[in-house]
């Protein structure tokens, strides 16, 4: 019995505002899990707080093999130009 009293003293009541659509989704999700809306929100917040923040990726340096950079006349902002250039080198230039 004393344990229940201790648990009750550790609970803080608070009010949150949810738009109608979100509130309905929360109620449905809680019902599917078979828990109260309060328990669902508490579990969801606990899970969100436990997750670690994504780490900042380490910077990397692209290492290319051979060559002295892009081919002359190729615009790297237009990747299809690379395909056209490769096709023309392999199959020859097609007159339009």
Higher pLDDT residue, 1 or 64? 64
Q: What is the pLDDT of residue 3?
A: 52
pTM score above 0.85: no
Residue 1 has pLDDT above 60, yes or no: no
Q: Note whether 44 and 52 are within 8 A (CB).
A: no
Q: Which residue has the tokens 């395909």?
A: 83
Of the listed ranges 3-7, 17-21, 71-75, 77-81, the one predicted with least confidence = 3-7
Q: Which two tokens stand for residue 15?
A: 């009010």
Q: What is the pLDDT of residues 22-54, one digit of tens each?
A: 999 999 999 999 999 999 999 999 888 887 777
pLDDT above 60 (res 4): no
């Amino acid at each position: 019995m004393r344990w229940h009293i201790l648990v009750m003293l550790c609970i803080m009541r608070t009010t949150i505002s949810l738009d109608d659509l979100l509130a309905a989704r929360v109620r449905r999700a809680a019902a599917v899990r078979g828990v109260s809306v309060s328990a669902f929100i508490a579990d969801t917040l606990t899970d969100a707080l436990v997750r670690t923040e994504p780490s900042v990726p380490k910077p990397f340096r692209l290492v290319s093999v051979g060559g002295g950079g892009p081919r002359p006349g190729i615009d790297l902002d237009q990747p299809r130009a690379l395909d056209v250039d490769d096709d023309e080198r392999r199959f020859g230039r097609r007159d339009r």
